[in-house]
Amino acid sequence: MFAVIGALALLVSIEPAIRYARSAGLLLAVVGAEDPTRITHLLRHQVVDRETTLALSGRSLRARVYTPLDGSGLPAPRSWAMVLHGVHPDGIDEPRLQAFARALAATGVETFTPELKELAEQRVLPSTIDDIGACARAIQQEVKAKPAAIGISFAGGLLLLAAAREPGASSLAYVVTVGAHHDLGRVLRYYAGERVTDPAGKTAAGRAHPYGGRVMVTAYAELFFPPGDVELAKRALAIWLKGKYREGREMAAALSPAGQDRFNIATQSKRQSELNALLLEAARAKDAELRAVSPASGLAGVHVPVFLVHGEGDPIVPALETAWLAQEVPKAALRAALITPVLRHAELAAPPTVGDQLDIVRFVAGFLAAADEP
């Protein structure tokens, strides 16, 4: 699929060609496709992974490390990165995250994936910002070099905040966000069906996917459920969000009648208007907390290179969030901002045109080049 990109790159010069080939190889590996020319295979490392822990202040976080090997089977990283999962109950065990981390490591980047407990529990909290910075510092101390960081979905917005303050500001080499948020309150209102716009006043394209609103119900269950139902409701919704619908409904059957009704509002599409009203109420009630985990007006301290990418038709976090981020990130730090039809949310979308392929390969080649900088 990306062989044409490699051929175009060869017309430039050797070093850009290598970066373009590494970029194409990364994208091909993520989608599980093969390069019929075998060009990208020449630059691909074998990868081994292992479980580890990252030592933070007074505690540790579970993590996994993906290490590239040389031809003799010895570790051969040329740079280091951490990849941060989004709001997903599987955390670092999520198959798409593992595929991406392995593919990135195959380009020569030793890749750490720390488990961010709150995000795995469908919660977006300020403490995760501190954890991200502490993870960067722990990796820097372990490998004796600053890691890059790639934040997926809501982890992207939290990563930018971590890069704006210590210890992240002095521990990160550069930052990449994929489908990040700028203002979580605006995203919540988008889930509720409210009209939201980009800096030019253009309205978000398409409708929000119900998954986003359901995640917010889980995150702020205390606003939606009677006090005695909150913990059970969280567990039932978490199971339901993993696609185990029958198991989730069976667990929800133990809720009070009022709790069961709220569970149905959250999970039944025919009751979307009722859910919208509850989400707008939550946006008002949690305004201060939502602002605390939003990059809006909080990125003046970012000095590391920043790369922003977003799927044009993203139904979870609308692409206008990255348009706002592109205005918010200090101009001296912003290396690239790309809104592309190649991506959906945190995954590749329908088959792209050659021009779209070239845009995304250039973007990936850009941050791989940053990884190679001393």
Segment 57-109, tens digit of pLDDT: 888 999 999 999 988 888 888 889 999 999 988 999 999 899 889 988 988 88
Domain co-membership, 275 together with 305: no
Domain co-membership, 250 together with 150: no
What is the percent of the chain where pLDDT is above 90?
Answer: 67
Q: What is the CA radius of gyration of the chain?
A: 21
Q: Which amino acid, one-letter code, is at 308? A: L
Domain co-membership, 82 together with 15: yes
Segment 267-323, tens digit of pLDDT: 999 999 999 999 999 999 999 999 999 999 999 999 999 999 998 889 999 999 999
Structural domain harbouring 353: 3-183+294-372
Secondary structure of residue 329 in the 3-state scheme: coil
Domain co-membership, 247 together with 333: no
Strands 148-152 and 175-178: parallel
What is the percent of the chain where pLDDT is above 70?
Answer: 85
The residues pairing with 53 across neighbouring beta strands, listed in sequence order, are: 62
Domain co-membership, 63 together with 177: yes
Domain co-membership, 256 together with 311: no
Domain co-membership, 101 together with 178: yes
Domain co-membership, 27 together with 148: yes
Instruction: Evaluate if residue 1 carries a pLDDT over 60.
Output: no
Query: 60: left (phi > 0), else alpha (psi -120 to 50), else beta?
Result: beta
Query: 233: left (phi > 0), else alpha (psi -120 to 50), else beta?
Result: alpha
Instruction: Evaluate if residue 192 carries a pLDDT over 90.
Output: yes
The pLDDT of residue 370: 78
Domain total for the chain? 2
Segment 123-179, tens digit of pLDDT: 999 999 999 999 999 999 999 999 999 999 999 999 999 999 999 999 999 999 999
User: Final residue of a domain: which of 256, 290, 324?
Assistant: 290
Domain co-membership, 171 together with 259: no
Domain CATH for 121:
3.40.50.1820
Residues 6+ apart with CB under 8 A from 93: none
Long-range CB pairs of 209-213 (<8 Å, 24+ gap) are 209/315, 209/316, 210/269, 210/272, 211/241, 211/316, 212/187, 212/315, 212/316, 212/317, 213/266, 213/275, 213/276, 213/279
The residues pairing with 98 across neighbouring beta strands, listed in sequence order, are: none
Domain co-membership, 47 together with 141: yes
Domain co-membership, 23 together with 160: yes
Segment 197-209, tens digit of pLDDT: 999 999 887 789 9
- The pTM of the full predicted model, rounded to 2 decimals, is 0.89
Domain co-membership, 138 together with 7: yes
User: Final residue of a domain: which of 269, 290, 311?
Assistant: 290
The pLDDT of residue 57: 84
User: Final residue of a domain: which of 290, 315, 347?
Assistant: 290
Torsion sign (Cα): 218, 187, 127, 116: positive
The pLDDT of residue 17: 54
Q: How far apart are CA 53 and CA 342, in angstroms?
A: 34
